[in-house]
């Protein structure tokens, strides 16, 4: 009889463990896709990519002496943003101000911030508003 009791207890314990294990699995599965509400963040790498272009635009328009706001800026900006000079040929000197820093900023944001987990680490540390 003692053997049956041990075996019976063993079976009951195994069934109880199976039930507990199942409920834990369901609990994990239910919360697996849950995330906190997304908050507004500023990606510094992307903003930094726009800085040379913005600085150049402001300096150039101010140096010409005719500061007419958006109308003047919209006249000069596309010429510098795309690395093509007035004759229609590619100009490598315009690469450092135009689209290349912006694309590098997006790449840094994507790979350093996202793939390497720096943005996640910043969020876990509780640093608000700033991401790479």
pLDDT digits (tens, 9 = 90+) for 57-78: 778 777 766 666 677 777 778 8
Tell me, what's the pLDDT at 20?
63
In this prediction, the residues of the chain whose per-residue pLDDT falls under 50 are 1, 3, 5-7
pLDDT at site 21: 62
Same domain, 8 and 50: no
The pLDDT value recorded for residue 29 is 58
Does one domain contain both 30 and 43? no
Residues 6+ apart with CB under 8 A from 61: 67, 72, 73, 76
Residues 14 and 28 in one domain: yes
Say if residue 51 is in the same domain as residue 28: no
For residues 82 and 56, state if they share a domain: yes
**Does 56 share its domain with 25?**
no
Q: Is the pTM of this model over 0.75?
A: no
Give the 3-state secondary structure of residue 84: strand
Pair (15, 70) in one structural domain: no
Domain range for 17 is 1-34
**Domain total in the chain:** 2
Q: Are 84 and 90 in contact (CB under 8 A)?
A: yes
pLDDT, position 126: 87
Provide the 3-class DSSP secondary structure of residue 43: strand
């Amino acid at each position: 009889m003692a053997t049956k009791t041990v075996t019976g207890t063993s079976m009951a314990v195994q069934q109880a463990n199976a039930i507990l294990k199942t409920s834990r699995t369901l609990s994990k599965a239910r919360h697996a896709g849950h995330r906190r509400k997304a908050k507004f963040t500023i990606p510094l790498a992307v903003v930094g990519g726009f800085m040379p272009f913005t600085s150049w635009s402001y300096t150039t328009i101010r140096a010409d002496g005719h500061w007419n706001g958006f109308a003047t800026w919209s006249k000069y900006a596309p010429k510098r943003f795309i690395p093509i000079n007035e004759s229609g040929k590619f100009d490598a000197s315009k690469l450092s101000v135009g689209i290349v820093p912006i694309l590098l900023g997006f790449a840094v944001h994507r790979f350093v911030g996202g793939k390497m987990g720096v943005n996640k680490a910043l969020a876990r540390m509780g640093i608000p508003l700033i991401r790479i």
